[in-house]
């Protein structure tokens, strides 16, 4: 792969070299490290951001969630999962499908909404099984092509991760889908959870497994010219660091991190420390909530995850780690409720060194503020986020706009 190709990707993929250590997290900002003025109001700053967000979801959609996006030129291309029958989302609902929204960055007008995979859909080369299409992800493949990934969820069967390409000039998808591949220590297989679980067991996993889902999670970060993601088996609480090959069709498992196995860790975000050490922040489910951190010197062998005093009162929801313009951004869901609405508080803390943090944004909303995604493009930071009005899940529309 040529340098120019990675330069193109780096315009649309968050670049992360997060200098954060588990022992160095502190909430007390040193004067020399201050990034924000003394009178900075995180809630007011967040309110201004939310006031500028626009709805990118089709009018007929009742439930939607888990958006990701890339920006190319003057447009944002946003993928999300959706359904037209009921609020919320669920991998067991066969009426869940995946869709792409095209937004003009100059005026935030939604130019086009294109569903691209649904239960039983017939393509030129394959037919999807009956069941949900779920957890879409998107990356810019080249100057004219976007690649969208999604997972099928056919009831209690093994899920398969597929991909389909989108032609930017034609503003249309090809009529073929292709099976993504998973590379483990023993070979290359169709990207299905059984092979992911087998690899985890071979690396010492002992807890019970459901084996059902496998999702691309913290997606498409570039380190040393290679593209990395995290993989997640949500129902079993399994996580791994993986590397995407140059053809963007095979995910190679580098290492699993599932300790302590008594806990249910999921939906991680991974970065590298200045000395090359890998670090992951993991959502925690089960009886406990909040976030745990784990590190690895080589990406293969990880220490047992531990909590951090800096991220107190965390909820079981997606965290974010980004670095924009030399500043680190740490996003995490707070367990506090606004008028009894879950996932209604989301904090973003910033740091120059990854050790001393300041609160830059505090999103508080009865519409919720959950599962955001952030990317830099042409000097601005853009975001997507799930919100809603009345359903307890608040998973009713995908909002898009500018963070700063």
Q: DSSP letter string over 132-168?
A: EEEEEEEEEEETTEEEEEEEEE-TTSPP-EEEEEEET
> What pLDDT score was predicted for residue 20?
36
> What pLDDT score was predicted for residue 156?
64
> What pLDDT score was predicted for residue 24?
39
**pTM of the full structure:** 0.89
> E strands within 187-225?
187-190, 215-216, 221-223
Apex 272 CA angle, 269 and 277, nearest 5: 120
Question: How many structural domains comprise the chain?
Answer: 1
> What pLDDT score was predicted for residue 21?
38
Which domain, by its residues, includes 207?
3-402
Cα separation of 233 and 78, whole Å? 23
> What pLDDT score was predicted for residue 19?
37
| Residue 32 φ/ψ, nearest 5 degrees | -70, -15
The pLDDT tens digits of the residues spanning 265-311 come to 999 988 887 788 898 999 999 777 899 999 999 999 999 999 988 88
How many Cβ atoms from other residues are within 10 Å of residue 316's Cβ?
19
Q: How is the beta sheet containing 291-296 ordered, strand by strand?
A: 264-272, 278-285, 291-296, 306-307
Q: Is residue 33 helix, strand or coil?
A: helix
Q: Is residue 198 helix, strand or coil?
A: helix
Parts of the chain with a pLDDT under 50 = 1-32
> What pLDDT score was predicted for residue 229?
96
The pLDDT tens digits of the residues spanning 31-75 come to 445 899 999 999 999 999 999 999 999 999 999 999 999 999 999
Say if residues 75 and 103 touch (Cβ distance below 8 Å): yes
Q: Which H or E run includes 37? A: none
Apex 143 CA angle, 72 and 242, nearest 5: 85
Cα separation of 285 and 264, whole Å? 5
CATH number at residue 292: 2.120.10.10
Percent composition of the chain: helix, strand, coil (DSSP 3-state, to 5): 10, 45, 45
The candidate with the shortest Cα–Cα distance to 68, out of 140, 145, 162, 143, is: 140
The candidate with the shortest Cα–Cα distance to 265, out of 235, 245, 244, 241, is: 235
């Amino acid at each position: 792969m040529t340098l120019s190709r990675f330069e193109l990707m780096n315009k649309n993929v968050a670049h992360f070299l997060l200098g954060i250590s588990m022992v160095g997290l502190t909430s007390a900002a040193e004067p020399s490290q201050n990034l924000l003025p003394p009178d900075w109001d995180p809630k007011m700053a967040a309110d201004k951001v939310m006031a500028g967000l626009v709805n990118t979801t089709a009018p007929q959609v009742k439930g939607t969630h888990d958006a990701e996006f890339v920006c190319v030129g003057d447009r944002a291309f946003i993928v999300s999962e959706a359904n037209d029958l009921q609020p919320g989302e669920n991998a067991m609902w066969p009426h869940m499908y995946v869709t792409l929204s095209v937004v003009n960055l100059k005026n935030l007008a939604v130019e086009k909404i294109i569903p691209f995979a649904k239960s039983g859909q017939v393509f030129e080369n394959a037919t999807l099984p009956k069941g949900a299409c779920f957890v879409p992800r998107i990356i810019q493949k080249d100057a004219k092509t976007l690649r969208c990934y999604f997972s099928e969820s056919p009831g209690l069967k093994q899920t398969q991760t597929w991909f389909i390409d989108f032609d930017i000039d034609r503003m249309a998808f090809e009529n073929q889908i292709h099976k993504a591949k998973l590379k483990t220590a023993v070979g290359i297989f169709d990207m299905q959870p059984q092979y992911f679980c087998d690899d985890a067991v071979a690396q010492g996993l002992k807890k019970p497994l459901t084996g059902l889902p496998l999702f691309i999670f913290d997606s498409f970060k570039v380190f040393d010219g290679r593209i990395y993601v995290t993989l997640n088996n949500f129902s079993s609480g399994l996580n791994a660091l993986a590397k995407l090959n140059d053809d963007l069709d095979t995910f190679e498992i580098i290492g699993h991190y599932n300790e302590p196995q008594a806990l249910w860790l999921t939906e991680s975000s991974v970065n590298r420390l200045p000395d090359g050490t890998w670090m992951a922040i993991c959502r925690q489910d089960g009886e406990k909530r909040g976030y745990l951190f784990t590190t690895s010197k080589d990406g293969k062998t990880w220490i047992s995850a531990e909590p951090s005093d800096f991220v107190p009162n965390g909820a079981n929801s997606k965290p974010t780690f980004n670095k924009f313009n030399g500043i680190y951004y740490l996003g995490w869901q707070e367990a506090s409720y606004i008028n009894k609405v879950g996932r209604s508080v989301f904090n973003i803390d910033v740091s120059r060194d990854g050790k001393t943090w300041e609160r830059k944004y505090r999103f508080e909303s009865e519409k919720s503020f959950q599962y955001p995604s952030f990317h830099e493009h042409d000097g601005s930071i853009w975001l997507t986020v799930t919100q809603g009005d009345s359903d307890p899940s608040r998973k009713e529309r995908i909002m898009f706009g500018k963070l700063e």
